Each structure stands twice: as C-alpha cells, then as structure tokens.
Structure 1
Amino acid sequence: MALDEESPLIEADGNESIIINHGRDIHILSWAFLLIFLAYGAAQNLQSTLNTDGDLGTISLGILYTSFTVSSLFASTVVRKLGSKYALLLGTTGYWLYIAANLKPFWYTMVPASLYLGFAAAILWVGEGTYLTSTARSQASDHKLHEATVIGHFNGEFWGIFACHQVVWKSLTLALLKDGAEGSTSGTTLLFTVFLVSMTLGTILMSFLKKRDGEETEGERDLSVGLYAFLVSLWKQVVTPLCDVRLLLVVPLIAFSGLQQAFVWAELTKYYVQPSLGESGVGGAMAVYGVFDAICSLTAGRFTSGLTSITLIVSGGAVLEGGIFIWLLNYSEPTGVLRILYPLLIAAVLGIGDGVLMTQLNALLAMLFKHNMEGTFAQLKLWQSASIAVVFFLSPYISLQAMLLFMLAAVVLSLVGFLFLVLKVEKVFTSHVS
C-alpha cells in the first residue's frame, strides 16, 4: 500500500471508522519548515555582509549556536512536558523574533534575539524529530506497514523538502537585493519583511498539525514540577542515553554531520567557490548544494527499510565525502571550464553527503531508541550544534590543510564507530526494532 493512498472504511463493532493517513501531517510539517527556514537560512548567510559593525552578525551567530548547544541539554524535558506539537509552535517564536531583530540590527536587539533563538531552535528540532517519528509509527501501525520503511520515507520527504530552502532563499535574495544592493536600507528592509511574512505563514501552517496520541505518559503534562523533579527528568533525558553504547557509537557520526554543514558554510565558499566563481557565483554553488541535498534526501529516504539499507547508504556517503576531502588536500585551482565545474562538483558531493546523513541519522535514531525519543533527538542537536561551533571557533586559527585533515579524520572515525555498531550491536538493535 502506498503511503499517500487514502485507506478504506473499516467496520469496528458495527460502526464505520476511518484509518487516518498520517502522511498529511508530514506534508504540513515539511512545508512549514521550508517557509520558516528559507527566511532563517538567508538571514544566517547574510549576517557577515549585512551586520558588519563590530562584527555584530558573526558574533550573534556565535552566541546563537552557543545558546543552541546549552539549550539542547534540557530541550527534551521541555518537549516532553509540552508535547511535540506545542514545542514546535514555541520553537518558531525564536526564529520570528530573530528575523524581526534584523530589521533594527543593534547589539541590544540582536544579542537577546540570538540567545532566545538558541533556546527556541533546540526546542523546535527536538520537537521535529519526536513528532516525525511518532507520526511514522502511527502510520505504520494503522496501515500495517513496515515501521522502518515508513520512518525512512517520512524522513526522506521532510529532509528533501527542507533542503529546498537553500535554493528558494537565494532566489528571493537575488530578486530583492539585486545590483549588489545589500547595503541598501530599503532593500534589506523589504527582504526581511518578506521573510517575516514567510515565517508567519510557516507558523500558521504548523498550527494545523494534529496532536500526536501517546506522546506523554500520565502526569507528564503537569508543568508545575519542582526543581528536584526537573533535575531527575533532565538526568534521564540527557545523561542516561549516554550510558547506552549504541548512542556512544553513533555520536561521532552525529558530530561529523554538524562539522560537514559548518565546513560548507565557513570554508567551501571562502576557499573554493569565491576564488573560482567570484562573489556572484556563491549563490549558484549553494543552489547546487541545496538541489543535490534535496534529491539525495528524497532518494535515500525511499531506499531506507532497516539497518542494512542504512548501513549501505551511510557507508557510501561517508566514502564519497572522504574522497572529496582527500581530493581537496591536493586541490589546485583549475583553469578553463574546470574552473567552473570543480567548485560546483564539490558543492554537489557535499550536498549528497548532507542528504545522506540527515535522513539516515534521524531514521537510525528513531529505530534504535523508541522509548526516549525526546532525549535522543536532544542528543542529536546537542552534538551537531557543538560541532558547528567548533568549526566556527577553529576556522580563524588553523590553516585550510589542517581543517581538511580534521574533517577527514572525523569522517573516518564516524564511519568506524558506525560500522562497529552494525557488527557488534546488531542483535540489540534487532530486539529494539522488532
């Protein structure tokens, strides 16, 4: 049965009832995130060129990811208390405030907005992972489908549509800031006003999500908990998962996914795209990155059906990315048509790598850790955001060659840890997903 087919009416004790197609909620979730992140993605990438006074833009991003990392420690507790739908709605408020602050970018607006966005982003992403996974499980249960396959398909759709924001935001930016008008007050005001509208539409769309049944156990929706209860919950959600050898073996892969994203943002455009294609070519290269990211996410999601498929897809992606880093260690700026093709090829391969990692990591964690989704996805964002911060902090102080060696070592370590999980802990995995 196809995931998007409407299910027939069935009889239950003489009364007709409908088997719900939960794919509707994934469509809504995916398009809401696209509307929200086409605005935020542009705002993030424009910080270093728009808010240059005292490096306000760059510093605000550093504050944001530091707050994101710290907030990931207790995001799972907040999501568990609110429920994933209301956590998603709460999370959008931070992105809305951050975009609004960019209309008047001063220290007293950007710093508080960045701090709050770090908190809201942690809530949003833990809520997303929890909501998508519970929706996939409901779909598999109601339609008698293979759970791992549904989780893979839903993750593929979500990350495929989400990756399109990298293409859409660049198109909007080029249209509204044409002729190099990034310094124009009227141009940037119009741009961020459009982004606010997009962000608002995304939040409204998200409000149509159905609440997921069975997310909370009895009493968990009581928000008036004491400090002791909060600390106990925090320990269970954050520290306890790290006692599980399966998570420890996946952490290097999670960390590498963050390192890879930050490498694209901080190094790819600076050292490979801009020297060959110029400033105007950066947008095109990032569009290529986004297109291949989206295509790979959709494709990888369709082929995900369990541990074996995840192993093959992740291994292929890791080998591909490792090959790119080895190539870049000996890279020399080409001439002729290769001067254009090589940077686009690098962007395409890294886009494929990101599509592989995001779909497969989320599917893997959803299948491995059924009973602590919030805590597991909090670990995902904790290690990803911390890794992103590491690249941003290291980048000004180490050479490109050192960064490439660091990335190559990270991909090798992450693949070894993942394969060890597959080989040595497969029986534990099978008992948890069967």
Structure 2
Amino acid sequence: MSPKSKKLFNIIMLGVAFMFMFTAFQTCGNVAQTVITNLNNTNFHGSGYTSMAIIYGVFSASNLISPSVVAVVGPQLSMFVSGLFYSIYIAVFIQPFTWSFYTASVFIGIAAAVIWTAQGNCLTINSDENTIGRNSGIFWALLQSSLFFGNLYIYFAWRGKTHISESDRRTVFIALTVLSLVGTFLFFLIRKPEESNTLEEEVSSTDESIVDNSSVQSKATRAVDAFKRSIKLYFTKEILLLSVTTAYTGLELTFFSGVYGTCIGAVNRFGTEEKSLIGLSGIFIGIGEILGGGFFGLVNKDNRFGRNPVVMLGIVIHFVAFYLIFYNIPNDAPIASFEGTDNSAYMNPSKELAIFCSFLLGLGDSCFNTQLLSILGFLYSEDSAPAFAVFKFVQSICAAVAFFYSNYLLLQWQLLIMAVVGFFGTISFFTVEWEAAAFVARGSDYRSI
C-alpha cells in the first residue's frame, strides 16, 4: 500500500471508529433527557441537561492538559482508553443511579478532551495542505453517519409509544454500549503513516528542539512543552478570532444534539408519534451532516473559492432553521414537564416542518465544522494537537454553558443567543480566512495581539 493510500485508509478507519462510537453516544445524548423523565425509579434525581453541562464543563477544562496526555501515551492508545470511558457512560443508563450518572459524566468529560485532541492530530498527520479539506469532509461525513443509524433504531423501536419502559430503555442502551465498544477497538486498525511525524515528535517541535542535538526528549519534557504551546496558542490573533466561530458551534451543538429533540418529544400536539419523532429528528440531522460533509469535502478539492462561501451558506441555513423553529415549536418546549406541553407557537405544530428543520440544523453544522477542521489543519499543520485542543476547549465550554441555561430559558431566548453569536462568529471566520495564506507564508509564529 502506497503512503498516500495508507493515509487515506487511516482517515477512513478513524471516521468509521468514530461513527460506531458516536452512533452510541450521540443517540444517547439525543434521548437522555426523555429517558430520564420516563424513569420509574423515584430514587433517581439526575438531569440529562445537567449531565451534559458537567461533561462539557470538564471537557473544556481538560483540554488544557489533553495535549500533554496524548504526548505521553500516544494518539492511538489515547483514543482507545477514552473510548472505554464513553462505553462506561452509556452503560450507566442500563441501570441508572444518580451518583454513577454524574460520576461517569465527569470521566467522559476528561476522555472527550483526550480523544478529540488525538483525533485532530491523527487527521493532520495523515493529510497535507492539498488533502486536508477532502479528509476533513470524509471524516465528518463518516462521523455524522452515527446520527442516522442510532436514531433510525430509536424511531422504529419507540414508534407509537408515549412512555419509555424499563425494558425499552435497557434494550436500547445495551445495544448502544456494544456499538461503542466495537468502535473503540477499531482504533487499533489505524496504521502509523509513512513520511510523517508522530504526535510525540510534533508536540515537542519547539524552536529550541530544532537546534538541540538530542533526538529524544523525556516524556515529562514533551508533556510540559505541549502544555506551554497550548497556552501560547490561546492568545494568538487567529485563535482568538476563530474562538468566536467555535463558540457558536458549541451553542448550536447543544441545541441540535440535546435540546431540539427534547422539544419535539414534549409537543403533545404531535400525538402518539412524539417520542419516535426524536429518533426521526436525529436521522435528518445526520442526513444533513452527511450530505454537507461529503459535498464540502469535494468542494475543498478546489481552493479557488476558499472556505468563506461554505461558512456563509451555513449561517444562512441556520438562520432559516431558527426562524422556522421559532414559528413552529412552542416556547416552553425545552423546559416542559413529564406531561409535555399543549401550547402552540405561531402555527399549529407541524411534524414535517420540525423534521425539515432538523435537516437544516445538520446541514448548517456541517458547513461550520468541516471548514473549522480544514482551516485549523491548514494554519497549524505543525502544531495540530495544541490547536485542536484550543478548538475543543472553546467549543465544549460554550456547550456546557448552553446545556446549563437550557434548563431555564424559553426557546425564543435560546434561538436569539445562537443567532447573535453565529453572526459574529461568521464575521470572525471571514477575517481569519482572508489572512490564512499570509499566515502560513510567515510560518506559525504565534503572533499575539
């Protein structure tokens, strides 16, 4: 197998492994709050929104140290061990207890920081400036296929049900746990690329190490170097601007992965299909993500137009989706009780329109995330681990904030927050993209403001 073919194989295997894992995890996140509100166990007092807030809060803090962790143990082992913690979190739902639910939330937050830092590095070292756009699209399309398969099962398993029984819950989460474990073990099929530096070499490639005659640094030194480079990267102009865009992806990630499905499941006017519609919503989010990831990956083969048109398309799609959701879904749907809501918005709630909005949310999200992955891999090809750690730090802390306020804010305010941050995030991305070529020509000098 040629070096190029081996790198492409690695990208595909990375995407397939994440597809299995996140078929389990994203389906779990999509139905968690609905499952919890249907629990018969009165001793359980957990909240799906609170759990996700804990996960993303710990996730954000852990991104400060994740490059150091990955530098010590390596990207492949990092992804494998992190995958085990994802499987443990999902398994908690088989027989949930409040203490185990929140404890697992903390550990998966740490695991998420490590696995996404390792993923970003694996994507970068198997790409170059000509293939980073294509590979980002391939990975994103495979990853988001997870939304299709898991939610398709939810749709058929819960169709016509207004209450989720213990038997229904256990069957679903045993299957999801097995899927997560399959994806975890697939990481061992990723091969070391030829003509490419490993993560340990990459994160330790400071200016000092170039002139240093010693060829091997201690693991402790590499870990410290990775941490220093992450902190230094936080205060560069490019990262600060991209942080606004990344913040928006964190807010809308929370909305489409946890809040919107709950809203649909709470609308009593949808009838007996309200619970199965959660799964159908996830399916169409996944279809939007897959189509966007695949198409924009192909578009990125031709860099004549840059990344800005794709991001512009993404924000327009999301603004249309937000307006239609505001018009279709009752304001109190995100915070409705177990009984749901009988209210309506500005029209009688339409199942077809609700599912169409799911597709738009997924398509718009793929516009932003494929271009963010592409521009980070382009700008920081020599420092991918710290760069992707910063990206996930900002995204996860904003997701945590969004999951927290989702417990309290009406739908209209959640949509307004996303619209405002999305507008400024788009402007920030444009600014960085216009200067990207000049930045790479200068070299990654970490120019601070």
Q: TM-score band (shorter)?
A: 0.7 to 0.9
Q: Determine the structure 1 residue equivalent to 2:178.
A: 197
1:244 maps onto 2:236 in alignment: yes
Residues 346, 110 of structure 1: CA spacing in aligned structure 2 closer, same or farther, 3 A cutoff? same
Q: Determine the structure 2 residue equivalent to 1:392.
A: 403
AA at the equivalent of 1:292: G
1:412 maps onto 2:423 in alignment: yes
1:112 maps onto 2:103 in alignment: yes
Name the CA distance, whole Å, in 2 between partners of 1:24 and 1:423. Answer: 32
Q: 1:184 aligns with which of 152, 161, 165?
A: 165
Cα distance per residue 1:29-50 (max 9 Å; x no partner): 1111111111112222232233
Contact 1:34 1:162 in 2 (8 A): yes
Name the CA distance, whole Å, in 1 between partners of 2:357 and 2:5. Answer: 43
Contact 1:273 1:285 in 2 (8 A): no
Deviates more, 1:128-137 or 1:46-55: 46-55
Unaligned runs of 5+ in 1: 1-5, 8-17, 138-146
SS at match of 2:189: coil
SS at match of 1:180: coil
AA at the equivalent of 1:204: F
1:223-242 equivalences under 5 Å are 223=219, 225=220, 233-237=226-230, 239-242=231-234
AA at the equivalent of 1:160: A
Q: Determine the structure 2 residue equivalent to 1:165.
A: 146
Residues 131, 99 of structure 1: CA spacing in aligned structure 2 closer, same or farther, 3 A cutoff? same
1:359 maps onto 2:336 in alignment: no
AA at the equivalent of 1:334: M
Unaligned runs of 5+ in 2: 38-43, 202-214, 329-344, 445-449
Contact 2:132 2:374 in 1 (8 A): yes
AA at the equivalent of 1:234: F
SS at match of 2:197: coil
Q: Determine the structure 1 residue equivalent to 2:275.
A: 279
Query: Which has the higher relative contact order, 1 or 2, with Cα contacts under 8 A spaced 6 or more apart?
Result: 2
Cα distance per residue 1:284-317 (max 9 Å; x no partner): 2221111111111110111114484212211221
Name the CA distance, whole Å, in 1 between partners of 2:360 and 2:94. Answer: 35
1:80-119 equivalences under 5 Å are 80-119=71-110
Name the CA distance, whole Å, in 2 between partners of 1:185 and 1:274. Answer: 20
Contact 2:49 2:258 in 1 (8 A): no
Q: Determine the structure 1 residue equivalent to 2:216.
A: 219
Contact 2:23 2:149 in 1 (8 A): yes
AA at the equivalent of 1:85: Q
Q: Determine the structure 1 residue equivalent to 2:382.
A: 371
1:151 maps onto 2:132 in alignment: yes
Name the CA distance, whole Å, in 2 between partners of 1:194 and 1:102. Answer: 11
AA at the equivalent of 1:219: V
Contact 1:51 1:105 in 2 (8 A): no
1:248-397 equivalences under 5 Å are 248-271=240-263, 275=267, 277=270, 278-305=274-301, 306=303, 308-326=305-323, 332-335=345-348, 339-397=350-408
Name the CA distance, whole Å, in 2 between partners of 1:124 and 1:182. Answer: 35
Distance apart, 1:245 and its partner CA: 0.8
Q: Determine the structure 2 residue equivalent to 1:51.
A: 36
Cα distance per residue 1:212-242 (max 9 Å; x no partner): 441222435x44x28xx855542322x2012
Q: Give TM-score scaled by structure 2 length.
A: 0.81
Cα distance per residue 1:120-168 (max 9 Å; x no partner): 111111111110111113xxxxxxxxx23x1111111111111111111
Q: Determine the structure 2 residue equivalent to 1:3.
A: none
AA at the equivalent of 2:311: V
Q: 1:126 aligns with which of 117, 122, 126?
A: 117
Residues 307, 421 of structure 1: CA spacing in aligned structure 2 closer, same or farther, 3 A cutoff? farther
AA at the equivalent of 1:201: V
Residues 323, 74 of structure 1: CA spacing in aligned structure 2 closer, same or farther, 3 A cutoff? same
Contact 1:177 1:191 in 2 (8 A): no
Contact 1:92 1:203 in 2 (8 A): yes
Name the CA distance, whole Å, in 2 between partners of 1:88 and 1:156. Answer: 20
Superposed CA RMSD in Å reads: 2.7
Distance apart, 1:354 and its partner CA: 0.8
Residues 360, 187 of structure 1: CA spacing in aligned structure 2 closer, same or farther, 3 A cutoff? same
Distance apart, 1:426 and its partner CA: 4.4
Residues 106, 321 of structure 1: CA spacing in aligned structure 2 closer, same or farther, 3 A cutoff? same
Residues 79, 194 of structure 1: CA spacing in aligned structure 2 closer, same or farther, 3 A cutoff? same
Residues 315, 273 of structure 1: CA spacing in aligned structure 2 closer, same or farther, 3 A cutoff? farther
Q: Give TM-score scaled by structure 1 length.
A: 0.84
AA at the equivalent of 1:89: F
1:21 maps onto 2:14 in alignment: no
Distance apart, 1:28 and its partner CA: 1.1
Name the CA distance, whole Å, in 2 between partners of 1:345 and 1:46. Answer: 19
Cα distance per residue 1:228-275 (max 9 Å; x no partner): x855542322x2012211111111111111111112245434556753
Distance apart, 1:419 and its partner CA: 1.8
Give the number of equivalent residue pairs: 401
Distance apart, 1:431 and its partner CA: 4.3
Residues 307, 114 of structure 1: CA spacing in aligned structure 2 closer, same or farther, 3 A cutoff? farther
AA at the equivalent of 1:41: Q
Between the aligned residues of both structures, percent identity stands at 23
Residues 296, 122 of structure 1: CA spacing in aligned structure 2 closer, same or farther, 3 A cutoff? same
Q: Determine the structure 1 residue equivalent to 2:209.
A: none
Contact 1:274 1:281 in 2 (8 A): no
AA at the equivalent of 1:247: I
Distance apart, 1:83 and its partner CA: 2.2
